[in-house]
Structure 1
Amino acid sequence: METGERRTATERTWMFPPVTGWTFDQVKDLEVPFDWELVDGVVVVRGETALWHNHVRGALVSVLRAAETGPYAAVSGQCVMVDEHNVVKPDLIVCDPRGLDVFEVECAPVEKVALAVEVVSPTSRQADRVRKPALFSANKVPYYWRVELDRDQKLAVHEYWLNADTLTYFPAPSHPVHQHKLITELPFPVEIDLDSLVGF
């Protein structure tokens, strides 16, 4: 039996990390019937998401792909390597793939991420509003969008910019919350009809 730092996570042991926590190499081949992230060396289960959430995520990545300008690329479902004990999977990212072997890389290095986007679900509120932005800002991701569905089933996108001195996010000065339409220049110019994203 493997011991200490050499052991790898299995379907039976993933919930019992070593004292120092799992590393990505120890959990990357984990075969379990759910999606997960690695947070401080602990495997954290990602909850199921509703149809509207998945539709909005897919529509957002399509719009961002159509608008992207070099060197950026919009990608959904991509894990981001913060460090060996922290690997997260935002709903979508905009990254700079230059210098990466895109056919071999498993997780986008956090320093390559220009924008992280989270679509908030009932089971991800704390993570998307507190933990994820703190993690991304501490690791110098320049922009963060938090997408919320309000009581009228309309989308609101909270746009945040990085304060490079404090490594914290602050609301975008001229448009902290986008409703009905999102218009921004960063990380590249894009205009999004938010009301259309929840339509089927």
Structure 2
Amino acid sequence: MGAVMIAERLEKATPENWMFPPEKGWTVDLVEDLELPVDWELVDGMIVVRGRPVLWHNMMRAGIERRLNDCLQEPYAVLSEQCVLIDKYNPPVPDVVVFDKRGIDIMEAKHILVEKVVLMVEVVSPGSQQDDRVRKPALYASAGVPCYWRVERGEDGLPQVHEYWLNTDTGVYIPRPVRPCHTSKLETDQPFPVTIDLGSLVEL
């Protein structure tokens, strides 16, 4: 009986067994076909249910993706809600990711390898504050992602973008030395020149 149960636990994740991971946790390969009626993400081998994002969050994500596309330079590409493979137990799905598209077979690739990523963007929601402010930037920095933007909702409802650069000596993010928090307008030259009228992101 025990051997049968262990064998079952090592099978791919299903709607019936996803809450009971193998001893070392689920891996990307074991969860790639999993379909659940909720949004979820694999974190350290555990399947974690994510809250449903609100309209403001989705508008920020879509707007930032559009503006980054407007400013994009070769050899980069930008996508939203695309899985980034950090390791087999941690394939986060950032709100927006900018990556070097060279050498990627878009017909076959299931994930973006983290070594290709130059910018991760997370839009903070009430249920994601700890993740977006602490866990995810630590994860992205440890994986060597050069730039991280955290988008917060100001008291006036307008977005504020906190810009971080990777300190390669310490392996952690530091606030951009000049104007680390962008309000009204985002202007930066990392990972390439970008200008975004932040107020325009809330216009329908």
* Normalised-by-shorter TM-score class: over 0.9
Aligned partner of residue 57 in structure 1, secondary structure: helix
Match of 1:184 in 2: 188
Q: TM-score scaled to structure 2, two decimals?
A: 0.95
Match of 1:52 in 2: 56
Task: Tell me how far 1:5 sits from its aligned partner.
Answer: 7.0
**Match 2:34 to one of 30, 36, 43:** 30
Deviations 1:91-116 (A, max 9, x none): 00000111111111111111111000
**One-letter identity of the residue aligned with 2:196:** I
Q: TM-score scaled to structure 1, two decimals?
A: 0.97
1:1-200 equivalences in 2 (<5 Å)? 3=7, 6-200=10-204
Task: Tell me how far 1:6 sits from its aligned partner.
Answer: 3.7
- Whether contact under 8 Å (2:10, 2:22) holds in the other structure is no
- Whether contact under 8 Å (2:124, 2:152) holds in the other structure is yes
- Whether contact under 8 Å (2:9, 2:20) holds in the other structure is no
**One-letter identity of the residue aligned with 2:70:** A
Tell me the distance in 2 between the aligned counterparts of 1:29 and 1:121: 27
**One-letter identity of the residue aligned with 2:51:** G
* CA root-mean-square deviation: 1.2
Aligned partner of residue 15 in structure 1, secondary structure: coil
Aligned partner of residue 86 in structure 1, secondary structure: coil
Task: Tell me how far 1:4 sits from its aligned partner.
Answer: 6.6
Aligned partner of residue 16 in structure 1, secondary structure: coil
Tell me the distance in 2 between the aligned counterparts of 1:74 and 1:159: 17
Deviations 1:32-82 (A, max 9, x none): 112221111001112101111111111110010111000111110101101
Structure 1 residue ranges without an equivalent (≥5): none
- Whether contact under 8 Å (1:4, 1:18) holds in the other structure is no
Tell me the distance in 1 between the aligned counterparts of 2:148 and 2:131: 13
Q: Which runs of 4+ in 1 moved over 3 A?
A: none
**One-letter identity of the residue aligned with 1:95:** F
Task: Tell me how far 1:27 sits from its aligned partner.
Answer: 0.4
- Whether contact under 8 Å (2:11, 2:30) holds in the other structure is yes
Structure with the greater alpha carbon radius of gyration:
2
Task: Tell me how far 1:154 sits from its aligned partner.
Answer: 1.5
